Amino acid sequence: MSRNPETMTPKFSWTASAAVLAGAALVVAGCSSGGSDHEQTTTPPASTTSFVTPTETTSRVPATPPSTPLTAPAALPAEIGPVDQASVDAVAAAVARIWYGWDTTRDLTQHDAKLRAVPLLEPRLAQLLRDYPPIAGPGADWLDLTARSAVLTVPADGVRPGVEAGAPADTATSAVRLLEVTQKVNTPTGPMPDRHLVVGIALVKVGAEWRVSQVGSR
């Protein structure tokens, strides 16, 4: 990939070894080029979805990061509220809400939302997000949302367990979750249609708490 995690294309491949892959995660998933975040969200999720671990090509990872890493907040957004970090489900849901909560009136790209999730991310993923900010444009969809001053939120009831076929069992140190996520879109002139995503999240145990190591959507 380029220095921009936004150019990475998620490839779903849920397998029986998904839990092992979750523990070995080193890269950002759920990132895409241009406006593909929109392309991934316009089709409502099917009633049954095969369980897939978010993975992606790493052949274009640059050898060295940019000289000035981005800063990330030390605390979660206030609207998320307290998160039980010993709970796989609570951490996965909180990250999904933050990752897909975009405020085009203050965010430059979707990457800003991902940085807000850093307190709940596995350290290597958090570092990757800080070290490799977007270098490509955010895409036509983002520009359209920005022109409308759109704010996209994922309410607590906008994250639901997906229907999992062949989901691997949790282990003491790794887990995967498939979630159906609804983005509410509001603009100064009124709401726009909801957006729907199917999101795969891989988590690993860091000490006594769970952290997200990969996120992928389609």
Give mean pLDDT, residues 158-177: 90
Q: How would residue 31 be classed by pLDDT, with cut points 50, 70 and 90?
A: very low
* Range of the structural domain that residue 213 is part of: 5-62+71-217
Which residue would you say has higher pLDDT here, 26 or 109? 109
pLDDT, position 72: 83
Percentage of the chain with pLDDT > 90? 58
Residue 34: other Cβ atoms inside 10 A = 17
62: its two tokens: 């640059």
Q: Which residues pair with 174 in a beta bridge?
A: 204
Range in 7-11, 67-71, 199-203 with the lowest mean pLDDT: 7-11
Which residue would you say has higher pLDDT here, 65 or 124? 124
Spatial distance between the Cα atoms of 74 and 28, rounded to a whole number of angstroms: 20
Query: Which of 139, 29, 154 has its CA nearest to residue 103?
Result: 154
Number of domains in the chain: 1
